Structure 1
Amino acid sequence: MTPVLAAFPQRPLTLKPGRGALGGWMTTLAGLLLFGAFLAMLAIEIGPALRTDLQIRDQAVPAPQVRVTDGRCRSRLFLFQSCEVTLSWRGKDGTGTRKVSYMFVEPHMGSWSVQAMMDPSRPDLVSTDLGLDRLWNRIATLVGGAIFALVLIFGLFLVARKAQAKKREVKALSGRALRAVPVRFAGWGDGPSWRVQDEHGATFEWPVRKSDKPFVLDEARGLVLALRDPAGGPAFPLDEKLRFVQLTAEERARIEAARWRPG
């Protein structure tokens, strides 16, 4: 261990974050578009049928003049059901069609039968017994799906903000005459990230890529290589290929040689 620490140059070093903030913001943007589209789908496709069913739930009766002309349900993970039903009718005011979409949570036990329903006082509001019987289930599913999407968007935003803050920390350390020190590898965090712990128990977390591996000094003791200001402060762990710090070819060769030298 000691030869590696001694092999590091005693000069100002330029550091590079393991994972830049740009990637985090791009992931956040992609998540915003994806989950935003999901929220829009819930509002546009699922919302109108729910609004109708809330209006007619107490007065709905079978509607023999309304036919179910098309219907299809898909099951995901056995519990999540999504159905689309097309209703058609002919009356004294002419003909009409309506497509309703449902999402609900229920074990898939085979096909469902569907009967058209309507409010006699408002014949333009048509629905099905499939939707009315699962009205509160559908509302809970809609609310749960919306909350899930919003939590994911907020989580991605927090990860990106965290990566941005860490980038500033790396920039503050960069350009100083840092000292190579051993720190304990404390595991992986979200994002992903590495957590390292110094000899006093202080923990520092830095964003990295999933493919990055720390520069191991002592596997048995869980020690990895980090750079730190001699005056103290955060310890910045290095990867096994030393890509997180700018070194000359000679410095890199000296460190690699010391890596395999008995300490």
Structure 2
Amino acid sequence: MSYTNLTLPDRPLKLTPGSISPPGAALFMVLVLLVIGGFLAWWQGPDIWRDWQISQNPVTVEDSDVRNGQCTTRKAFFTDCEAHVAYNYEGRHYESDIKLMFVDIHSGDYWVDVVISADKPHLATLSLGVEKIWNRIFMLAAFALLFFGGAAAILWQQLRAGKASRALAQPSRLTLLPLVITNMQQLRGKTQISYHDKYQPKPVLTTTLRKGDDPLMVWDDQGNGYGLGVRGTGSRLPALLDRALTRIDLTDQERREALALLDREEAEKFGQAQHSEAPAKKRGGGALRNLLAGLGVILFFVLAALGWWLWYVTGSSDSHDPIGMEINAMMPEPVNLWACGKLEQRFGDRNAPYGCTMDDHVSWK
């Protein structure tokens, strides 16, 4: 039941391309999720892999020293720890910087030993890292599922919408059906609408109408409004029609007759017509806009990283800020040396941070 006497011509019809849109800012969200997920994997993955190798054949080193060890708990249960360890094993001296992150509800200090791999004695960690190895693996897996899974879900929605839109752009027999509109918002002058089949609440789809266009609405006997859409034989997903019927390839005569019928129906229900005739227009693609949006996201994160690094070098009160050290270590050598010189001016009486150390992992470059 479509709540209207409108009928479509008895022939295959098609809609304009892009009648079903991907979710709003889909590419932006995918890039954000991938960047965050990739950063977490880059930040925690190597340390977890190191401690996993150590856990396969661990040895506690008695002749060892833990320096500058500290743990910080954030959001009540996210704990990250770091320390510099020095130890002697089988006549050789080793030093290493340790970083850990895990989930724990704990108050007070952690008591730790230095643990190394018997097979690879240069791999060292804190006993806490070995004890929490599965905790850390599950935590990283959960974040990976959240961010990479979220990106995959958005991409799947985008692919599904694109496939359905392409199918509707090919001539097929179209069937009218009512659609429940769940959300409407204005984005850069256009109207983005979320909707679903009245009888099938999933999936929720999205369409974007041009500036000045409105959805084609129909009403049931109780006065409840629904969007009027079509479903083709080549796609199970419906597309919403616009008020002027410019999305569907009717002839000018067919469009005039259809709009006249809708005007009469609305005049009977509301006392005046709600529809007006408008010429059919072609819609342009948004690939360039999506590309620019993606580049904008990348540029934002690059500028944010540079801003954090500059603050770390010139204004931070912590020479061992984890993010600042990682960014500084990735800088080209001339820039890195300049930054380390600035840091040494302010923290020269302390051990050098990662990215500014000599081979002993303690002295300044």
Name the TM-score class by shorter chain. 0.5 to 0.7
In 1, the alpha carbon distance for the partners of 2:107 and 2:239 equals 57
Q: What are the residue-to-residue correspondences of 1:146-225 with 2, within 5 Å?
A: 146-172=144-170, 181=176, 183-185=178-180, 193-197=194-198, 207-208=205-206, 215-218=216-219, 220=222, 222-225=224-227
Is the partner of 1:86 in helix, strand or coil?
A: strand
Residue identity in the other structure for 2:136 = R
Match of 1:60 in 2: 60
C-alpha contact 2:66 2:85 (8 A) present in aligned 1: yes
C-alpha contact 1:46 1:103 (8 A) present in aligned 2: no
Query: Are the structure 2 counterparts of residues 193 and 50 from structure 1 closer, same or farther at C-alpha, using a change threshold of 3 Å?
Result: farther
- Tell me how far 1:162 sits from its aligned partner: 0.8
User: Structure 1 residue 262 and structure 2 residue 268: aligned?
Assistant: yes
Structure ranking higher on relative contact order (CA contacts 8 Å, 6+ apart): 1
Residue identity in the other structure for 1:261 = A
Is the partner of 2:57 in helix, strand or coil?
A: helix
In 1, the alpha carbon distance for the partners of 2:114 and 2:125 equals 5
**Which 5+ residue runs of structure 1 have no aligned equivalent?**
none
In 1, the alpha carbon distance for the partners of 2:20 and 2:233 equals 23
**Equivalent in 236, 239, 242 of residue 236 of structure 1:** 239
Residue identity in the other structure for 2:241 = L
In 2, the alpha carbon distance for the partners of 1:125 and 1:232 equals 59
Is the partner of 1:152 in helix, strand or coil?
A: helix
In 2, the alpha carbon distance for the partners of 1:66 and 1:262 equals 88
Match of 1:115 in 2: 112
Query: Are the structure 2 counterparts of residues 43 and 232 from structure 1 closer, same or farther at C-alpha, using a change threshold of 3 Å?
Result: closer
In 2, the alpha carbon distance for the partners of 1:149 and 1:229 equals 33
Query: Are the structure 2 counterparts of residues 182 and 74 from structure 1 closer, same or farther at C-alpha, using a change threshold of 3 Å?
Result: same
1:2-61 deviations in Å (ceiling 9; x for gaps): 9986599999775342425896456445544443343333322432233224431xx425
- Tell me how far 1:153 sits from its aligned partner: 3.8
Is the partner of 1:262 in helix, strand or coil?
A: helix
TM-score normalized by structure 2? 0.49
Equivalenced residues, count = 246
Query: Are the structure 2 counterparts of residues 90 and 256 from structure 1 closer, same or farther at C-alpha, using a change threshold of 3 Å?
Result: farther
Residue identity in the other structure for 2:219 = D
In 2, the alpha carbon distance for the partners of 1:138 and 1:24 equals 30
Match of 1:133 in 2: 131
Is the partner of 2:268 in helix, strand or coil?
A: coil
Query: Are the structure 2 counterparts of residues 139 and 216 from structure 1 closer, same or farther at C-alpha, using a change threshold of 3 Å?
Result: same
In 2, the alpha carbon distance for the partners of 1:230 and 1:157 equals 23
Query: Are the structure 2 counterparts of residues 157 and 227 from structure 1 closer, same or farther at C-alpha, using a change threshold of 3 Å?
Result: closer
Higher deviation after alignment, 29-38 or 6-15: 6-15
TM-score normalized by structure 1? 0.63
In 1, the alpha carbon distance for the partners of 2:116 and 2:177 equals 74
1:187-236 deviations in Å (ceiling 9; x for gaps): 68xxx952214xxx578856316999965433746552324489998653
In 2, the alpha carbon distance for the partners of 1:115 and 1:84 equals 12
C-alpha contact 2:20 2:161 (8 A) present in aligned 1: no
- Amino-acid identity (%): 14
Match of 1:40 in 2: 42
In 2, the alpha carbon distance for the partners of 1:237 and 1:170 equals 11
Residue identity in the other structure for 1:60 = T
Match of 2:97 in 1: 99
Residue identity in the other structure for 1:43 = G
Query: Are the structure 2 counterparts of residues 155 and 236 from structure 1 closer, same or farther at C-alpha, using a change threshold of 3 Å?
Result: closer
Residue identity in the other structure for 2:218 = L
Task: From the two aligned structures, give the one with the greater strand fraction.
Answer: 1
1:55-83 deviations in Å (ceiling 9; x for gaps): 31xx425x45312224343424x333333
In 2, the alpha carbon distance for the partners of 1:170 and 1:103 equals 49
In 2, the alpha carbon distance for the partners of 1:29 and 1:120 equals 38
Is the partner of 2:170 in helix, strand or coil?
A: helix
C-alpha contact 1:116 1:128 (8 A) present in aligned 2: yes
Higher deviation after alignment, 137-146 or 4-13: 4-13
In 2, the alpha carbon distance for the partners of 1:97 and 1:259 equals 83
- Tell me how far 1:243 sits from its aligned partner: 8.4
Q: What are the residue-to-residue correspondences of 1:11-30 with 2, within 5 Å?
A: 14-15=15-16, 16-20=18-22, 24=26, 27-28=29-30, 30=32
